[in-house]
Amino acid sequence: MGAEDRQGCGPLIAPSSESMRPLRQQVFERVRASGLIPRVQLAKDLGVSPASVTTSTSELIEMGYIEEVAAPRPGESGRGRPAVALGVRGAAHCVAGMKLSDREHTAVVVDFAGNMLAGDAVARDPGPSTVEELLAAVELLLDKVCAKAGVARSDLSALGIGVPGFVDHAEGMVHWSSTLAARSVPLAQAVEGRTGLPTAIDNDANLVALAELWFGAGRSLADFAVVTIEHGVGMGFVMNHKLYRGAQRLGLELGHTKVQLDGALCRCGQRGCLEAYVADYALAREAVTALNLNHRNIPSVPVLLESLFAQAREGNGTARSIFKRAGRYLALGLANVVNIFDPALIILSGERMKYDYLYAAETLAEMQDLVINSGRPRPPIEIHAWGDLLWAHGAAALALQGVTERALGGLRDIAAQ
């Protein structure tokens, strides 16, 4: 990879936020976030002495994690010795990230610098799977994407996996997921036993936030929220450049906040959840009833929703009312996010974002009306449509995070003056 291609990945953290992490790790992660960076700039960014940077970078070069790269300055004539910058040696490690969902599994392989080597997807039948079926699907997709990347499974240093539902990242436990028939599944341990790879799992919405933190709009933001709308409604929240998960690692379940007492039935088994009014199965349920469809010949949810959206665009009042109602509930959910967390940015993501009725001007205006009137500007809202591999990129970032911690974490270095 040439110097001009190195864009960097990972959060751009302010020096004051990094003081509790080993200096060597801070140096490495600043290099990775920058793509390419001279030593003198590295010392300035981290607020440490050039001698400290020289010591840490020498260790990292010896470990094979970073390398020196010729990086001519803009406007240089090419005469004399080119400037030398530091960049991550991508070949030092590679990891895989995977998203397991209700209708499709996706995966990517990325190197240590965060560059994607390959991506792939496999369709699956809707409905929950047994643990054995899910493990077989993981193994099949993993081997498929590795072959596409030109690496063996044994070349991977870690695997990250995202699943919808209630997931305890620290314990590797899936308490409930629409992808699994069983509850309280130690999925990380099961995948490790099947693949032989260190495996980390998390809620899929958390991993969209991690993807934005590592590769997207959240890299330079300390605090932001991501709300995903697909088969369900999810939320990931970044606080001080890190994912916030809650005391029991099960927080931020925006889709299961209650917006109506004794309301519509949610797939989690409770009633009145936000998801039960906004997610695709909720829209499909409304469509079947409102459009008087024959229950014996109801098309698949994707086909039904495409038909409903087409009818709304053509002026069908009933179809429009379904999306408008969902948009109002979404506005209520987003206003609650603003009132509780006061994020710098809200990102809306996921497949349902192609239905612009959910974030039409009147929907966002209603959200503004529901937010506390402090006299200060409301947080901006951005619509991001990364595509199917977004979730897998977040899972890959989770795996990279784990590899970096194992390789470079530990006790805090003694700061050099």
Residue-level pLDDT at 115: 94
For residues 314 and 13, give the distance between their C-alpha atoms in angstroms, rounded to a whole number: 47
Q: Is the distance from CB of 96 to CB of 29 less than 8 angstroms?
A: no
pLDDT in tens, 38-55: 999 999 999 999 999 999
Residue 334 has pLDDT above 80, yes or no: yes
Q: Which of 55-64, 82-91, 101-110, 288-297 has the highest mean pLDDT?
A: 55-64
> Which residue type sits at 56?
S
Structure tokens at 55: 């010591």
Residue 412 has pLDDT above 50, yes or no: no
Delimiting residues of CATH 1.10.10.10 domain(s) in the chain: 3-91
CATH architecture assigned to 215-384: 2-Layer Sandwich (3.30)
Which CATH topology does 93-209 take?
Nucleotidyltransferase; domain 5 (3.30.420)
Residue-level pLDDT at 81: 59
Q: Is the distance from CB of 3 to CB of 71 less than 8 angstroms?
A: yes
For residues 383 and 66, give the distance between their C-alpha atoms in angstroms, rounded to a whole number: 35
Choose between 232 and 113: higher pLDDT: 113
Distances in whole angstroms, Cα of residue 241 to Cα of each of 39, 160, 222, 398: 24, 19, 5, 14
How far from chain centre, in Å, is Cα 24?
Answer: 26
* β partners of residue 37: 86
For residues 105 and 16, give the distance between their C-alpha atoms in angstroms, rounded to a whole number: 39
Choose between 153 and 267: higher pLDDT: 153
pLDDT in tens, 377-386: 888 888 887 6
Nearest in space to 268 (alpha carbons), one of 253, 251, 256, 282? 256
Residue-level pLDDT at 79: 58
Choose between 408 and 127: higher pLDDT: 408
Phi and psi angles of residue 80, each rounded to the nearest 5 degrees, phi first: 80, -175
Distances in whole angstroms, Cα of residue 33 to Cα of each of 10, 14, 55, 170: 5, 12, 20, 25
Residue 336 has pLDDT above 60, yes or no: yes
For residues 103 and 173, give the distance between their C-alpha atoms in angstroms, rounded to a whole number: 21
pLDDT in tens, 308-317: 888 888 888 8
Choose between 124 and 87: higher pLDDT: 87
Phi and psi angles of residue 218, each rounded to the nearest 5 degrees, phi first: -90, 5
Residue 404 has pLDDT above 50, yes or no: yes
For residues 62 and 305, give the distance between their C-alpha atoms in angstroms, rounded to a whole number: 55
Mean pLDDT value across residues 106-130: 92
What lies within 8 Å, CB to CB, of 267 at 6+ separation is: 178, 232, 275, 276, 281
With a pLDDT cut of 90, the percent of the chain lying above it is 57
Mean pLDDT value across residues 340-351: 89
Residue-level pLDDT at 351: 74
Cα–Cα–Cα angle for 125, 202, 407, rounded to 5 degrees = 125
Q: Is the distance from CB of 98 to CB of 163 less than 8 angstroms?
A: no
Judged by average pLDDT, the poorest of 115-129, 177-191, 264-278, 300-314 is 300-314
For residues 187 and 194, give the distance between their C-alpha atoms in angstroms, rounded to a whole number: 10
| Buried-exposed string 36-47: b where 16+ CB fall within 10 A, e elsewhere | bbbbeebbebbe
Assign 8 a pLDDT band (cuts: 50, 70, 90). confident
Delimiting residues of CATH 3.30.420.40 domain(s) in the chain: 93-209, 215-384
Mean pLDDT value across residues 96-103: 91
Choose between 377 and 387: higher pLDDT: 377
H/E stretch holding 242 reads strand 242-244
Residue 414 has pLDDT above 60, yes or no: no
Assign 178 a pLDDT band (cuts: 50, 70, 90). confident
Mean pLDDT value across residues 250-279: 90
Residue-level pLDDT at 413: 39
Q: Is the distance from CB of 27 to CB of 56 less than 8 angstroms?
A: yes
Q: Is the distance from CB of 344 to CB of 223 less than 8 angstroms?
A: yes
Concatenating the DSSP letter of every residue in 365-417 gives: HHHHHHS---SSPPPPEEEE---TTHHHHHHHHHHHHHHHHHHH-SSPPPPP-
Choose between 376 and 156: higher pLDDT: 156
Judged by average pLDDT, the poorest of 4-18, 49-63, 261-275 is 4-18
Q: What is the mean pLDDT of the chain?
A: 87
Choose between 387 and 32: higher pLDDT: 32
With a pLDDT cut of 70, the percent of the chain lying above it is 91
Nearest in space to 88 (alpha carbons), one of 106, 63, 105, 124? 63
Assign 6 a pLDDT band (cuts: 50, 70, 90). low
Classify residue 269 by its DSSP letter: S
Nearest in space to 7 (alpha carbons), one of 151, 159, 216, 226? 216
The top-level CATH class assigned to 3-91 is mainly alpha
Residue 95 has pLDDT above 60, yes or no: yes
Residue 411 has pLDDT above 50, yes or no: no
